[in-house]
A and B are shown apart, each in its own frame.
Chain A
Amino acid sequence: MKYIDEYRDEHIVQSLAAQIARRATRPWSVMEICGGQTHTIMKYGLDELIPASIRLVHGPGCPVCVTPLEVVDKAIEIASRADVTFASYGDMLRVPGSHSDLFRVKAAGGDVRIVYSPMDAVKLARTLPKRQVAFFGIGFETTAPPNAMAVWEARREGLDNFSMLVSHVLVPPAIRLLLGSPHNQVQGFIAPGHVCTVMGYWQYEALCRDFHVPIVVGGFEPADLLEAVDMLVGQLEEGRAVVENQYVRSVRYEGNVAAQRIVEQVLEVCDRKWRGIGMIPQSGLRLREEFAAYDAERIFGVGEMTADEPAECISAEVLQGLKRPTDCPVFGAACTPENPMGAPMVSAEGACAAYYHYRRHSFQPSEVS
């Protein structure tokens, strides 16, 4: 497949790894922000290819993992209602809520449907006029334009049975929080290539400036990630701290303006709680007031639901890159993909799940730094 296979070329990947090895004269700690990038790293064993002195830290870029517990509970509550058809991306089905998950709701007879596109949820509303179709609108900036478009389209068609449970999060505020933490050891970032496809990368310049860290926008194939690491190491070795773009085939400085425009029209920035991290101001998106008729929280009256996180799950520290999944005492024992305690074990690209599936036999305890 064009623009995929050539970035999985073994020769190029090995050459990039060799180049990184030559470039790095000291240990460096870099974070890939996006869970999809974590997935690629684990799936292809890229961290084995780069020198051990380069530590790859897995960041909080998994919107599934960071969806607050109470939002999952709200979804479960709505999906459990007899007159509701609950449409969701597949990722969210197994994420544990306080007492249940969407899969169990489906097992108990709830009408829970997996959709590939938010427009499929709109289609459901169109073709099932007697059902209340609620769509679980999660994601980072990448998914915001499609989700916003669904609401826009529902309004355009005059549908009165479509609503969205919104739980969108924004990347730059999370990175700012991470960088501002006294525990932070990350010296450079691989920015999420598809978020930046939508948003551009101008937002990251302030982070470089304020914290003097290099940031490279990276793609998702093995060659993309290694090239991004190479570019980061290059900057770190030279003491530079600017934003560079590795993912030139998809990302432009200004991003996709048309996509940004629909987001601005339908959604607005708000404070948002991140599961395992806590409240990050101005880090989320919610429906604008004029789209209140499509707000599932209001329609189903679940706005006031709250929840408490279980103490054992160290998702928070894993999500912030402070601990590895293998540092968790319940990893692989009480917490497995079949019995997940926290979202990073369930989500296809949560760090814990990635470690569990791909590397169980070779994990090492993390170095004490």
Chain B
Amino acid sequence: MCLAVPGKIIEAEERDGNRIAKVQFGGIARQAFLNFVPEAQVGDYVMVHVGFALSRVDAEEAARTYRLLEDMGLLEEELGGAAQPEPRVP
């Protein structure tokens, strides 16, 4: 369920009592409502579901956890699969 797609806010404005953004997904941009993410600003990424932003992507957390994935990938290469699994860093 729940197809939500990450997009970048490139414009935001108040219109008829709602806060509306122009959000860019890959090569296209579309309108989304920001009612649920009042803290989101232009330049932020948001997860959009049926035309509403449901969360602001936490860029720092995403970068941090992705680095862990990349490191794990490098380790795999070096060790060729013979090592013990990495302990989970919460």
Contact = CB atoms under 8 A, between A and B. Distances in A.
A251 interface: yes
Contacts of A361: none
A112 to B, nearest CB: 18
B88 A231 contact: yes
Select the residue from A146, A195, A248, A249 with max chain B CB neighbours within 10 A. A249
Contact of A258 (B38, B49, B58, B73): B38
Nearest to B8: A2
A327 to B, nearest CB: 23
Contact of B54 (A2, A61, A223, A259): A259
Interface size class of A (residues with CB under 8 A): 35 or more
A146 B32 CA distance: 11
Given A22-B84, A248-B61, A145 B6 contact: no
Contact of A139 (B1, B38, B51, B55): B1
Interface residues of B, number: 45
Contacts, number: 141
B47 A250 contact: yes
A125 to B, nearest CB: 15
B57 A120 contact: no
A19 B69 contact: no
A143 B2 contact: yes
A4 B4 contact: no
Contacts of B8: 2
Contact of B52 (A3, A14, A63, A146): A146
B58 A248 contact: yes
* In the A-B complex, the 4 residue pairs with the closest CB atoms: A117-B51, A194-B2, A249-B62, A142-B2
Interface of B: 1-6, 8, 17-18, 25-26, 33, 35-38, 45, 47, 49-52, 54-55, 57-59, 61-62, 65-66, 69-70, 72-73, 75-77, 81, 83-86, 88, 90
7 contacts: A2-B6, A2-B8, A6-B66, A12-B73, A61-B1, A194-B2, A248-B62
Given A34-B2, A258-B38, 11 more contacts: A4-B6, A15-B72, A19-B72, A19-B76, A116-B51, A117-B51, A118-B50, A120-B51, A142-B1, A197-B55, A231-B88
